[in-house]
Structure 1
């Protein structure tokens, strides 16, 4: 059973992101505030759950949460500010949208940028330790998957419906054959290994 909270007697938002390691698409982050006495034994790191279970839990989280929101940073923004800063910005954008203001923040991982002078804690593997971070990981993952599925309709040659933008062999083969899309992160090594692409026009 994951822990309910990190800070005692504070309204706490859990944050997590999805899509940092992808070659294409926006990075998504979610922020979730759960009730103080909330207990859901099904919550876990989204990577440990089946796709079907993630979507079932998304509905439950959205119904049960005091507040939740999703923030997005585009591939173009990622290229300008780098993926770490983009991930932190996506979390801030999610926090900005919460209809209930948090009094503290807990974040999956070991990096965060202070938000409105609120106390915060970074927790390595936090999505497997705290319910609100697990809930945020599920929302970020499922909303990003939905987004990549929509892009796949427009650009089926990259197999995004299956790989969600991650660097699979089929994805990289699509880049070799068809070039890059407007959604690719041009600051990344898109072909892997020693190969690179020249984006100068």
Structure 2
């Protein structure tokens, strides 16, 4: 990676893992967070840069009355049709990547954390960051948290999880792991340790190893 580019971490985790809580804590310590979900949302609001291509590809019925993407209709389509999912990603992913890279280049923090829910699934993010940080917890904990948070049934949560990379694949891709199976206060010492590690990597005071720490 170009030495002028800030040290970067790809943050990921399955639904209900607590990834957002981890990102918030890193931001409080001064890291720049680039939230790819937020970028994706900005692309598909009324007047968003992806909307003309989406309407051209999927039809005007995939825009709601305001002109934003009809998320419920699109979600139903891509969950049932892998080809439609690939068509959607072909439009959105290059735009999200470009916007994320621009946000990273403008970062003011000592290092950049790219918050990428589907980092493992995308296949390309691993080569664009210097470390992958996975927020992990047992799958039963994921299900319970999302049921409580979103008033969903267990089967609905499990269907979402089935569309994501399995826990084993995320862990295999990880350079660093945060365990979030318990109380949120248990995150703080883990994040503090990684923050100091990432500061050292960013400053060049220690060399970035290839193996997980």
- With structure 2 as the length reference, what TM-score do the two structures score? 0.28
- With structure 1 as the length reference, what TM-score do the two structures score? 0.29
Bigger fraction of residues in helix:
2
